[in-house]
Amino acid sequence: MLFLQKISIMIFIILFSGGIFLTSSELIRAQETIDSGKRFRARELGIIIGNYPTGKYNAITDVAGVKVGHVTLISGSGKLVPGKGPVRTGVTAILPHGGNIWQEKVPAGGYILNGCGEMTGFIWMEESGYIETPILLTNTLNVGTVMDGVIDYMIKTVPEVGISDDTVNPIVAECDDSTLNDIQGRHVTQEMVLKAIESASDGPVEEGCVGGGTGMICYEFKGGIGTSSRVLPEKEGSYTAGVLVMANQGRRRDLIIKGLPVGKEITDLLSASRKGYGSIIIVVATDAPLTSRQLNRISKRASLGLARTGTTANNGSGEIILSFSTAYKIPHYPEEFTCDVKILSDTHINPLFEAVEEATEEAVINALCAATTMKGRDDNIVYTLPLDRVKMIMKKYGLQ
């Protein structure tokens, strides 16, 4: 096993030492050479979370119009040279719809469970009740550059921004990937931000060590991007809720999967430790017609789904949640003084709360299941969640 691990690490170095810019399919193939076996999503392992069915892709993109794009950066190996590498980072873009988000804003709300983190644009979102830019996820020290990239995109889309039109407050959220990445190097460029936005698509969403999740760590296993969705039955509105997470949180001992103490059962594979408790960004999308106030409430429920995986929201962690609805658009400069909008009654919102909690829990587990072992700066290694052992634990507790 040790021999195979050394071989896989050599393959990793050969593939990535030249600063190669990998396509999504190439990245997946390269990562599979590092891992000891094929990766599966939670449901493929028999981990069925909650009561409601998923959408077609079991992803945030099951909410019609929502798109996701990643740019992934993996290069270099060995000793950290600040500003040079090794690089294990990236950027993820979430588009609420395929139109002009500036001209057709969407209602939004949010919740900060613990605020040791950053999401730019959050103040204006809370004040206005809507979002008007794509949502970008990246590493902590790259927030400024990614903001510049979003501004470039907005000016390209609406040339009047900052001249004859309003200025823009981009939404950029972060987690710290410095255990594996040369975070001082700020390797995500404005051009990469544009690429992530412009290449965003609907359909299946890549998970694990991709985009903003490339260098992230979750419950001291390799973490990253995860997603899931739920669809309510007709009698409860037929609404869809989708969740995408950038999972970088938690201590090993706290990890719970489907109610089982997986973190206490798997106590090895702890090669690289990080400072603090880490953070997570959660983005919720739904086609249910909700107000900003209701989307604030939805965001709070996502934190309950996160808690089911074991997160305790420590003083030094950051759990930031943003929710939006695609059910109606808010015009940038409406001609009419008023507008008519149908809103879901609070009396009937409980099934949606439950759906968001389920999708959040599963999105975190999917991030763990999809991620693969990664060797980063200073030869720090973060191991993948061993899926074969997870199945053994489920069998031990009578769940398989």
Domains of the chain by residue range: 40-396
**Of 178, 228, 229, 279, which residue is the catalytic one?**
279
CATH architecture of the domain with range 40-396: 4-Layer Sandwich (3.60)
Q: pLDDT tens per residue, the chain (400 residues)?
A: 333 343 333 333 333 333 434 434 434 333 433 344 689 999 999 999 999 999 999 999 999 999 999 999 999 999 999 999 999 999 999 999 999 999 999 999 999 999 999 999 999 999 999 999 999 999 999 999 999 999 999 999 999 999 999 999 999 999 999 999 999 999 999 999 999 999 999 999 999 999 999 999 999 999 999 999 999 999 999 999 999 999 999 999 999 999 999 999 999 999 777 777 899 999 999 999 999 999 999 999 999 999 999 999 999 999 999 999 999 999 999 999 998 999 999 999 999 999 999 999 999 999 999 999 999 999 999 999 999 999 999 999 988 7
pLDDT value of position 399: 83
Nearest to 116 by CA among 356, 252, 309, 316: 316
Residue type, 20: I
- Rounded-to-integer distance, Cα 190 and Cα 193, Å: 5
Q: What's the CA angle centered on 254, arms 28 and 299, to 5 degrees?
A: 75
- Rounded-to-integer distance, Cα 364 and Cα 357, Å: 11
The H or E element containing residue 262 is: helix 262-265
**Of 174, 207, 319, 357, which residue is the catalytic one?**
319
Q: Are strands 381-382 and 374-375 parallel, antiparallel or unpaired?
A: antiparallel
Residues sharing a CB contact under 8 Å with residue 125, sequence separation 6 or more, in sequence order: 108, 109, 110, 131, 171, 322
- Rounded-to-integer distance, Cα 396 and Cα 389, Å: 10
Please say if 354 is a catalytic residue: no
Residue type, 301: R
- Rounded-to-integer distance, Cα 210 and Cα 187, Å: 15
pLDDT value of position 272: 73
What are the tokens at 84?
Answer: 């040079």
Alpha helices in 270-386 (DSSP H): 292-307, 350-370
pLDDT value of position 98: 93
pLDDT value of position 105: 98
pLDDT value of position 37: 62
Please say if 126 is a catalytic residue: no
**Of 178, 299, 317, 323, which residue is the catalytic one?**
317
116 close to 176: Cβ distance less than 8 angstroms: no
Residue showing tokens 């009578």: 398
pLDDT value of position 150: 98
Question: Distance between the two ends of the chain, CA-based, in angstroms?
Answer: 27
Please say if 335 is a catalytic residue: no
Nearest to 137 by CA among 223, 53, 28, 15: 223
- Rounded-to-integer distance, Cα 88 and Cα 176, Å: 11
